[in-house]
Amino acid sequence: MKSLHCHRPALLALLLGMTASLIFAENGAAKPSPENFSVTTKNFALNFVVSGDGRLYQRTLGAADATTKTARTDECYPPAGDGFIWEPALQVVHADGNTSTSLIFDGVARTNDAAGRELTRISLHDPAFPLEVALNFRADRERDVVEQWTEIIHHEAGPVTLERMASTALLLPAKNVYLTHFFGDWAKEMLTPITELVTPGTKVLDSKIGVRAEQFRNPSFVLSLDGPPAENGGRVLAGLLEWSGSFQCAFDDNGQSLRALCGVNPFASAYHLNPNEIFSTPKMIWAWSTNGLGEMSRNLHRWARDFGLRDGHKTRAVLLNNWEATGFAFDFNRIVGLYDPAKEIGTELFLLDDGWFGNKYPRVNDHAGLGDWQPNRQRLPDGLAPLATEAVKRGLRFGIWMEPEMVNPKSELFDQHPDWVIAQPKRKLELQRNQLVLDLTRPEVQAFEWQTIQDILGVTNITYAKWDCNRYLTQPGSSYLAPDRQSHLWIDYVNALYALMDKTAKKYPDTELMLCSGGGGRADYGALKYFHEFWPSDNTDPVQRVPMQWDYSYFFPPMALASHVTHWGNRPIHFACSVAMSARFGMDLDLTKLSAADKAICAGAISAYLKIRDVTQLGDLYRLEDPHSNARGTLNFVSPDRARAVMFAFQLQDGSAAPVRPQGLDPAKNYTVRELNPAPGRAVIPQEGKTFTGEELMRDGVVPSCAHAIEACVIELGS
């Protein structure tokens, strides 16, 4: 792989956007574009102006006066080295060593696709060098979502070096803008939301861990233009970078305007671009709302179900994972012994986790075996197929865990190919979780990993896979890349990874895929478009999952959040089941050791979930009471036709059972109130079995059955 989506174009005109929508004079010759033009959705507009100096400027987002004089600080995609003194979007060293770039407007083109989205391509060029830039905006009108990315090409005598290449350089007003972002290490992902006023200077959110986007912060944020963000009011703009590697989101406030520069982290990532190759940056997703965070999320969730993840309009199966039950200690009979209890309580899918492979170095712990993807002959003498067959016999689907990008030094693969790992020469190997990362820039590694995936997913009756990635880069060196191309590793690895994921999704269209990465390390749409869901965190304590899943829901539909019932935190099983029901329900328990009472609660939760998952997974989410600042967290989902709704109340601290007021109902429709899978011994809710109009329910609310800490209530509102 040469670069991020590098190609050798047959038609440069396509890149430059000089196609169907250029404005032509009556005699057919191209004439300059109008001075002003816009990229618009139903409620959102990016307004551009071509000034007398030939440069392209962006009007500050939210600015009402379109006649304001432009300044160099408003340049749409500012390059470095020719008069611009703030943070640049593009920094180039030309083939002759010149470090300056200027960009002059060429033209704009617009095309529409069948999904109701418009693509706008703005063409720019450097008047002194044969270097061109195309700014791309794909606008989804109905959902108020815009995808933005940049393409760079040149025809100089030798390679040029890209030292900065942002996906976006959006301009916002410099006053009263608040930034909400999220911090959290392993098992604390998305648990620490931070909202702060943006002040003069540069605020940087970034990751330098290489092979995944997140361990400490997520490449997603919210900007609010009317003070701190609110759920149901104010102008808010969510930003999400489609990138599973090192990223940077820099917010540069020069006192006059605020610029959001987001894209590949320029740290150690200088890219040498050959003549006639296209460098395409990751896509940046912008989701706009004039009515607060709730509307923003619902728009973004609708976009995601259509374009952001696989099979976004199909409900997800109920899954049982063996990890908490067995860890590495299992054999054929132990696993098969979990099937009947799983089927009895309503589970639809069984996932065999880590520990099924390795022979010379058996995978009996996390010290050995990664890279040797042959089933362990002592544990599984006949391989994976008999396990899958036994599951199918009982009416269960079968899934498998894999970590194709990784290797243990204690493995046959490492014995044979020590040069295949990412490492720095002359340095002692630094391990994380006793493993190393395979160098995906190397063609032999790409071929090996693709063959590994085919060998695993090609086994009959495997219809689900969990793709893990349990470490990041700390010694970023490649024995394959040339000495002067070592900085390509950060970009080429992710590019090769996406090619591998893309091939997997296309070859196995009926196989569900879960993203996992030491927890939520790949919670980004760059990878998620090849997958059905992701693992938000290894922390499955339901008390902490309530605020964690709340925060993830700003950016991702709950159907994409894998939420498992486990014994983490030793919480009541009813509470754990209720929390899991609000996302993609799964279990990670030894069902053979559950009490009869707890098993009945689990079975009841699954039965209820199967009835409502079309609403919770395909409907609209309304966040009601924030668990970060209240004694409870509450939310509700509404079906697309607004005929049904499901409401969740999670009591985190003792408090009164005040009514929960749902949102999004049809005021004129009638809804009958029923508690689903009520906790044993708890009083019936006052409105049980009664019918109310949507207007009455949204005004007066429903009193849940939970008032004490670590209690939950799930209520269906339907016909």
**Alpha carbon distance 191, 537 (integer Å):** 10
**Alpha carbon distance 419, 407 (integer Å):** 12
- What's the pLDDT band for 61 if we cut at 50, 70, 90? confident
Range of the structural domain that residue 374 is part of: 319-535
**Alpha carbon distance 682, 11 (integer Å):** 69
Residue 1 has pLDDT above 70, yes or no: no
Least confident of 64-68, 89-93, 544-548: 64-68
Residue 625 has pLDDT above 80, yes or no: yes
Closest listed residue to residue 665, CA positions, set 689, 690, 692: 692
- What's the pLDDT band for 174 if we cut at 50, 70, 90? confident
E-only strand ranges, 256-395: 257-264, 271-273, 279-280, 284-289, 319-321, 349-352
- Identify whether 559 is part of a domain: no
291 and 346: one domain?
Answer: no
Contact in structure between 56 and 50 (CB atoms under 8 Å): yes
- Identify whether 504 is part of a domain: yes
What pLDDT score was predicted for residue 66?
55
353 and 300: one domain?
Answer: no
What pLDDT score was predicted for residue 243?
98
Residue 347 has pLDDT above 90, yes or no: yes
272 and 333: one domain?
Answer: no
- Identify whether 71 is part of a domain: yes
Contact in structure between 627 and 663 (CB atoms under 8 Å): no
- Identify whether 647 is part of a domain: yes
Contact in structure between 15 and 152 (CB atoms under 8 Å): no
Gyration radius of the chain over CA positions? 27
Question: Which domain CATH number covers 353?
Answer: 3.20.20.70
Residue with tokens 């493995």: 411
350 and 434: one domain?
Answer: yes
Residue 14 has pLDDT above 70, yes or no: no
Residue 263, burial from CB neighbour count under 10 angstroms (0-12, 13-18, 19+): buried
pLDDT digits (tens, 9 = 90+) for 309-345: 999 999 999 999 999 999 999 999 999 999 999 999 9
pLDDT digits (tens, 9 = 90+) for 655-711: 988 999 999 999 999 999 999 999 999 999 999 999 999 999 999 999 999 999 999
pLDDT digits (tens, 9 = 90+) for 480-525: 999 999 999 999 999 999 999 999 999 999 999 999 999 899 999 9
23 is written with which tokens?
A: 């404005």
- What's the pLDDT band for 17 if we cut at 50, 70, 90? very low
**Alpha carbon distance 65, 59 (integer Å):** 9
- Identify whether 7 is part of a domain: no
Residue 534 has pLDDT above 70, yes or no: yes
User: How many domains does the structure of the chain reveal?
Assistant: 3
What pLDDT score was predicted for residue 213?
85
Which residues have a catalytic role annotated?
468, 538
259 to 89, 204, 251, 494: CA distances (angstroms): 10, 12, 6, 26
- Identify whether 687 is part of a domain: yes
pLDDT digits (tens, 9 = 90+) for 570-600: 999 999 999 999 999 999 999 999 999 999 9
276 and 297: one domain?
Answer: yes
296 and 372: one domain?
Answer: no
260 and 356: one domain?
Answer: no
**Alpha carbon distance 223, 236 (integer Å):** 6
The b-or-e profile of 278-306 (16+ CB within 10 A means b, else e) is bbbbbbbbbbbbbbbbbbbbbbbbbbbbb
End-to-end alpha carbon distance in the chain: 55
What pLDDT score was predicted for residue 679?
98
E-only strand ranges, 601-710: 620-625, 632-638, 645-651, 670-676, 691-693
Backbone angles phi, psi at 526, to 5 degrees: -60, -45
Average pLDDT over residues 366-379: 98
301 and 414: one domain?
Answer: no
Within the chain, what is the greatest distance between any pair of CA atoms?
83
What pLDDT score was predicted for residue 65?
52
**Alpha carbon distance 282, 244 (integer Å):** 10
Question: Which domain CATH number covers 708?
Answer: 2.60.40.1180
